[in-house]
C-alpha cells in the first residue's frame, strides 16, 4: 500500500488514463488498484517491493514540486531495476548553475543527467540522440558554467558549415557574414543562457569564440571548453583534426 495525501499528486503520478500505472503493471507483472487512501499493489514480493519503491520516490518528488515528463517513469523504473539503492532525487538535484541567469538548468531525463555527469567526469564526450533532446543545449550550458566559474579561460563553439537539405548558394558579405548563418544555432543557445550584452562582451573579449570547424586546423586549444555541434556532418579527417586540437586542461 502506497498512501497519498493529495489527489492531485496521485492523478499526476498515475498519468493520463492511468498510463503510468499500466506501464508499471506491464513491466513488473504486478497489479495496481486504487482505493480511498492510495494505491494497492499485488504480485510477486520482489516485484511489489520495486513497484512500491518506484511509486513512493515519484510521489515524494511530486510533493517537492518536481515535474514528470514523458518517459520519466519508464526511465526511473529502468534506473531502479538496475540499482535498487538509486535515488531519483539525485536526478533533479543535478543542476547547472550559470551566474546572472534567473533559473538554473536541470536535466529533464535520466539520459540528460548521465550526459551531464559524463561531461563533468570525462575530457571527451560524444552525445548521440534524436533532434531536440538537449545535446547541444546542455553542452553549451556546461561550457558557459565552466567559464563563469573560471574552470576554463575560454569557450570554443564550432560546427561544420553544412546546409540542412537545401543549397544556399553564394552568400554576400565578408567571411564573418558568410559563415554567420551556419553558426546561428550556437548563438541562439548562448543568448538563452546569458543576456545579449554579456554574450557580446564575452565574444568581444575572446572568452567565447564561435567559428566554423574548418578554421580549427593548426590551432592548439588549451584551458578551453570545446563544443562541436552537428558532429555527424564531419568527415573522419575533420573529426581527427578537431580531437588533436585539444590541449592541456581542456575538454
Question: pLDDT per residue over 37-92, tens digit each?
Answer: 899 999 999 999 999 999 999 999 999 888 787 788 888 898 888 888 888 887 66
- The predicted structure's pLDDT at residue 131: 87
d(Cα 123, Cα 131) in Å, to the nearest integer?
24
What one-character DSSP code corresponds to residue 230? S
Same domain, 66 and 129: no
Q: Quick one: CA torsion of 136, 137, 138, 142, rounded to 10 degrees? A: 100
* Domain extent at residue 172: 98-244
Same domain, 219 and 118: yes
State pLDDT tens for residues 117-134: 899 999 999 999 898 888
d(Cα 249, Cα 126) in Å, to the nearest integer?
18
Same domain, 70 and 116: no
Q: Number of structural domains, the chain?
A: 2
Residue 211 covered by a domain: yes
- The predicted structure's pLDDT at residue 68: 80
Q: Is the pLDDT of residue 166 over 70?
A: no
Q: What is the CATH number of the domain that holds 108?
A: 3.40.50.300
Same domain, 138 and 240: yes
Residue 132 covered by a domain: yes
Round the average pLDDT of the chain to a whole number and report it: 83
State pLDDT tens for residues 183-207: 667 777 778 878 888 888 888 888 8
Quick count: other Cβ atoms within 10 Å of Cβ 14?
20
Range list of β-strands (E), 4-146: 31-34, 38-42
Same domain, 24 and 50: yes
Same domain, 81 and 138: no
d(Cα 147, Cα 241) in Å, to the nearest integer?
24
Q: Where does residue 225 fall: left (phi above 0), alpha (psi -120 to 50 degrees), or beta otherwise?
A: beta
Residue 249 covered by a domain: no
Same domain, 114 and 165: yes
Q: Is the pLDDT of residue 168 over 50?
A: no
In sequence order, what are the beta bridge partners of 157? 210, 227
Residue 114 covered by a domain: yes
Residue 124 near residue 246, CB atoms below 8 Å: yes
Give all strands of the β-sheet with 208-212 in edge-to-edge order.
208-212, 154-159, 224-228
Same domain, 87 and 106: no
User: String of b and e for 76-92 (b: at least 16 CB within 10 Å)?
Assistant: bbebbeeeeebebeebb
Same domain, 118 and 235: yes
Amino acid at each position: 500500500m502506497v498512501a497519498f495525501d493529495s489527489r492531485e499528486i496521485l492523478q499526476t503520478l498515475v498519468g493520463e488514463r492511468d498510463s503510468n500505472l499500466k506501464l508499471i503493471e506491464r513491466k513488473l507483472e504486478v497489479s495496481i488498484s486504487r482505493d480511498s487512501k492510495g494505491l494497492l499493489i499485488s504480485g510477486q514480493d520482489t516485484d511489489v517491493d520495486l513497484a512500491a519503491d518506484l511509486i513512493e520516490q515519484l510521489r515524494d518528488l511530486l510533493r517537492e514540486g518536481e515535474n514528470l515528463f514523458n518517459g520519466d517513469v519508464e526511465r526511473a523504473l529502468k534506473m531502479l531495476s538496475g540499482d535498487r539503492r538509486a535515488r531519483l532525487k539525485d536526478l533533479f538535484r543535478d543542476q547547472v548553475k550559470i551566474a546572472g541567469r534567473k533559473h538554473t538548468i536541470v536535466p529533464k531525463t535520466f539520459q540528460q543527467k548521465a550526459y551531464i555527469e559524463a561531461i563533468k567526469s570525462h575530457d571527451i564526450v560524444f552525445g548521440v540522440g534524436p533532434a531536440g533532446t538537449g545535446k547541444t543545449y546542455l553542452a553549451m550550458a556546461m561550457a558557459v558554467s565552466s567559464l563563469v566559474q573560471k574552470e576554463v579561460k575560454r569557450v570554443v563553439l564550432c560546427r561544420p558549415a553544412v546546409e540542412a537539405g537545401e543549397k544556399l548558394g553564394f552568400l554576400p558579405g565578408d567571411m564573418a557574414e558568410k559563415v554567420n548563418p551556419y553558426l546561428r544555432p550556437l548563438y541562439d543557445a548562448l543568448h538563452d543562457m546569458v543576456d545579449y550584452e554579456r554574450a557580446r562582451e564575452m565574444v568581444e573579449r575572446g572568452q567565447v569564440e564561435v567559428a566554423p570547424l574548418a578554421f580549427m586546423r593548426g590551432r592548439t586549444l588549451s584551458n578551453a571548453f570545446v563544443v562541436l555541434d552537428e558532429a555527424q556532418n564531419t568527415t573522419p579527417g575533420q573529426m581527427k583534426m578537431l580531437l588533436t586540437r585539444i590541449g592541456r586542461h581542456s575538454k
